[in-house]
Every structure is written in C-alpha cells, then in structure tokens.
Amino acid sequence: MALKVKDVLQLQSLQGMKLVAGKKGLDRVVCSAGIADYEFAMDIEYHNDNPFDKDSFVISSLLFAKNDAERIMEAVKILYEMGTSAFAYKNIIYGELPEEVIRFANEKGYPVFTFGQNVYFENIIYEIMDAVQQEDMMLLAEQNIMKMIEHQLPKEEVNQISKSISLFFKEYAMAVYVRPPLKGEKLDVRRILRSFYLNKSLKNKCMLCRYRKGLFMILTSDLSEDEKFEVILKEVMDSLSIEEEKVWVCRSNVHRPYDELDRCLREGWHTYAASVIDGKLYAGYDQIGVFRYLVPLAASQAMGQFAEELLAPLLDKEEFMHTCLNFVHNKGDLAATAQDCACHPNTIRYRLSKVRELTGLTEKTEAEFYAELSAALRIHLLREQAGL
C-alpha cells in the first residue's frame, strides 16, 4: 500500500514530468521529498552526511552543475546510494543529461525525470508530502488503530502497516497517546499534523496519527533506554508547540516496532484509559497496575457480570456511589476520602459499613473488601465510558 514513484506522477504538479531513464524503478517507494541545491555545489562546504531522507523524491534545477556537467553524474550516484526513490530536474540549465547519467540510471533502475520551467518546486514538494500524509493517514486510520488495540489485526497485517508508513523504524519504538484530561478541552489536531509534516527534523524520529479525540505519537530510536525516548518526545512536543501541562501524555513501554507496533499502541491507549478512570495521570504503562488486565477484559461477559452483580444495590444510591469512588481513587485512605467528600472520617466508616451490607461483603477482610469494590467500580466505569 506504500506510495510509489508511479503513484506520485499522477499528482497535478508532476503530470508533466517526462521519464528520461530508470523505467524499471517506477515501483520504488516514496516517503518524502527534497530539493538538491547547494549540497552538491563545488565551492560550498556542506557537513550534513544525510541531506536527503531515504525514499525521498528529489528535485533540482541543476544550478550546482551549471559550469560542470560532470557534477550531475556525481550527484545522481550519491542520491542513489542514499536510497532516494527518484530524481527530477528542471530543464532550465540542461535540456538533456550526459549519456553516462542515463546509462547509470537505467542500469540501477533509478528513475530520472525532467520537467518544464512553468512548474514550481514548492508545488511539487507540497503535493508529494500531502500525498505521503494521506497515505499514512489511510494506513493508520482510526479503524486500523482500534483493530490493533483490540487484537483484531493479524500480525502479518500489522507488520505490513509498519513497513508501509513513511516513518523508517529504527530498532525500538514507543507509542505516546496525547489528549487533554478534561471533557470539553480539545487538541488542535489539524494544526499539529500540518506543523509535523512541514518539520523535516522530525521525519526520522516520529509519526503522528489521529485517534479518537487525541493523537498517537509513534517514536523510534536505535536505543531502548527510556531517557532517549524522553529526549525525542520533548523535541516533538516543543517543535509542535504542545504544552505538556495542558495534556495527558501516556507512554507505552519500548518494543520492537515491526513485530509489536500493535502492542505499543495498545499500551499507550490502556495507560490513557487507566488515567481517565482513576482521574489522575499515569505517565507510563508500567504504572497502571491492575488496569493492565482490567482495561482489555472489561468488556467481557464475566467481568461485566461480576461488576453488575456487586454494584447493583449501589447504583441508585448517589451518596454511597460517590463515597465508594473517592475511596477507590484514594487507594482506601479514609482520611483522604473524608476530605474529598467534605465529611468526618466516621461518616465514611458508616457509609462503607452500609456498602458492605448492601453488597454482601460483610465477611470480607478490609483488604478483600477494597480489592473487590475497586475492581467492580473500575470495570463499571470502563464499560460505561467505553469510548473514553
């Protein structure tokens, strides 16, 4: 499903391009676009060893070779070795390329095109990057993400998606789900996505995709250490002007992306779900405790039956339910529960004793009572807020 050279030729700005060599390479994948200008100029020192992304469609005026046609061959060889997908030149300085360039491109299956003077570089770059973005959005559509989170996509399909998006995964990846914590607050997803696709420095580190009312940031690194991912995450947040104090940032553990992209997404989403239900931010999957099994299993018949039977006597008693929710949110701390409920600790003790009677948990120890009540309440909330 990845975008190919032959696909981008259908874009409006590229339809007038003429293939001059490398016909065998029209199925090469395109994941980015760039302009070759001073990188190959004789009199300029350029210190970036990788000025063009792998699988990028590179365009040029060939100004760098104005007085030396041999530099064209050098540039095309370097672009091919960098793994770029194709090269196109504007026929303003050179109408035809040296024969050795044509021969090289045909031998390597590296597409080379020419285009007219009335085509603007900006339009080509914009249309290619927009097409790449649309392809990414199709592959990582909300429906596909949901299927990955809910174990509905076969591993082979997850692997194919991982290989087809424009982010070239390094050895490790982390999924970070970002969304405002309060109802009514919104993330400006369109602005953030637009800024992301215009920011070249993030292309090899991160991929963004919409999910529900938030964003998944899929980060990638050669190193598995959390500290490395925190550096990347900070760069992404700063570059896209996302204020961390205004959103919940929920991280998955680090996994190998081609095998476990679905696991990354699942853990990031489960961390957010746990944060919503407990009313506080869990920054990482390792922090969510029992939610690691409650979130994925909450929709099951057994879990639903357990929560429904235990809580049935309480659902129409608002005061008791409010007390129980605060009791669970405060991890069984009576003093903190009393403070949140604005009443005396003895009042909380009385209400909880009535809850024991109503739910049939009078014979349970304090620990058993808290464990069963907290599990039932969390399952109830997860089922009630399935869409979060």
Please name each of the domains of the chain with its CATH number: 5-128 (3.40.1390.20), 140-289 (3.30.70), 298-384 (1.10.10.2840)
Q: Which residue has the tokens 């309480």?
A: 314
Query: What pLDDT is stored for residue 201 in this prediction?
Result: 84
Look at residues 182, 195, 202 and name the one whose alpha carbon lies nearest to residue 242.
Answer: 195
**Which residues is 179 bridged to in the sheet?**
248
Q: Are 185 and 237 in contact (CB under 8 A)?
A: no
Long-range contacts of 36-45 (CB under 8 A, 24+ apart): 36/60, 36/64, 36/75, 36/79, 36/87, 37/61, 37/63, 37/64, 38/64, 39/64, 39/75, 40/64, 40/65, 40/71, 40/74, 40/75, 40/78, 42/68, 42/71
Please name the residues in contact with 367: beta carbons below 8 A apart, sequence gap of 6 or more. Answer: none
Residues of the chain with pLDDT under 50: 46-48
Could you tell me the two tokens for 367?
Answer: 């620990």
Tens digits of residue pLDDT in 91-126:
999 999 999 999 999 999 999 999 998 889 999 999
SS3 214: strand
| Nearest-angstrom CA–CA distance, 383 and 116 | 60
Q: What are phi and psi of 365, to 5 degrees?
A: -70, 170
Alpha-carbon distances, residue 345 vs 320, 328, 331 (angstroms)? 14, 15, 15
For residue 295, how far is the Cα from the chain centroid? 21
What is the reported pLDDT for 50?
Answer: 65
Q: What is the pLDDT of residue 47?
A: 45
Q: What is the pLDDT of residues 281-299, one digit of tens each?
A: 999 999 999 999 999 999 9
pLDDT above 70 coverage of the chain, percent = 96
Are 252 and 174 in contact, with CB atoms under 8 Å apart?
Answer: yes
CB 64 within 8 A of CB 74: no
Which tens digits make up the pLDDT trace of 295-341?
Answer: 999 999 999 999 999 999 999 999 999 999 999 989 899 999 999 99
Which pLDDT score, from 0 to 100, does residue 20 have?
A: 96
* DSSP code for 119: S
Please give the pLDDT value at position 43.
Answer: 57
| pTM of the shown model | 0.81
| Separation CA 359–CA 357 (nearest Å) | 6
Distance CA 222, CA 245 (A): 28
Whether 14 and 116 have beta carbons less than 8 Å apart is answered as: no
3-state helix vs strand vs coil in the chain, percent to 5: 50, 15, 35
